[in-house]
Amino acid sequence: MIRSTLRKSSLRLPSLSPSAFRFSTVMPGSSEQKEEMNPYALARDTSVSVKDMRVLLATQDVFRHIKVTPVTACLGGEITGVNLAEKLSDDVIEEIWAAFLLFGVIFVREQHLTPAQQVALAKRFGEVDRHPIVKGLEDYPDVLEIVREAGAPTNFGESWHSDNSYMPEPSLGSILHAVEVPPVGNDTMFSCAYGAYEDLSPKMQDILDGLKAVHTAGIAFNPATVSGGSFENPEAKMKYVKSQELESQSVHPVVRTHPETGRKALFVNSMFTPRIEGMSEAESKPILDYLHSQVGQPHLTCRYRWKSGDVAMWDNRCLQHVAIGDNSSHRRIMRRVTLKGDKPF
């Protein structure tokens, strides 16, 4: 794991000026200097909106070892030129992480990873986070196999959410691998929580900056109503455990500050956030309903159409996602590994 040192050293970084975007290198065999953009400086500059920063990335080549093509103006980048099944060099891993910070979610097509390779890849970026409720694969308990059989009425994750936000230290990021997907449909949508916050009026931002919200798994994973898996059926493809997280609650800021980029992002979601701290659910509902409506705004989203073998890696600290269950005629199998995070501030 090479990411932990950078994460610890980059907490609460100040905004950087545009002049910090560039650095000079000397090309091998030449005394001529070449000016290049610094992707980490771009990720950490908060003086421009996240959209303006990502639009800039569409016109600038800021990477040496990988190629990243933006998916939309607000978030998402598709990486080419890497094989995630191989042991990648530290330089390539660093650039993948930089792309992760810059784009919020990154996609790599046609990878076909084994569970062992997916776990090994995740450990290059941080410590793996085991799900407290959903059982992982028998031989690889850190890998969730998310299965929707043909004919199943619902899909796992069919409302906007940030993975495991109900934990005291929510998952930093997730790596999802498509094992079997239908010929059409069952895409995943992602939404930029930076942009959702930046779109708010300054007055609304001031109000939210002082609020905290309660997160719980007890509603989404209620044994009486849960879908996508089972607490009781030993034959179910996805098996749930009645852990303490079903009863416990965590309190996080409504607006969290990203520990690596310094940007602010909305951090409430319709799956795990029932109320504002100090308010009843009825009092919280108008505020939360408005914030939830911001998340799905089309200009803040990207929609990814899966093919077998594709890999997506997203930052739970600054975006939300939702599984679209529009095709119940075909089976869908995905494998997910998450990375440990830290306490939101």
Active site members: 161, 163, 321, 336
What is 53-93 written as a DSSP string?
HHHHHTT----SS-EEEESSSSS-EEEES--TTS---HHHH
Query: Tokens at residue 333, please?
Result: 């199998």
DSSP class of residue 306? Answer: -
Q: Which residues pair with 78 in a beta bridge?
A: 69, 107
DSSP class of residue 244? Answer: G
Burial 49-60 (b: 16+ CB within 10 A, else e): ebbebbebbeee
Query: Tokens at residue 207, please?
Result: 């109000």
228 Rama sector, left if φ>0, alpha if ψ -120 to 50, beta otherwise = left
For residue 131, give the H/E element and its range: none
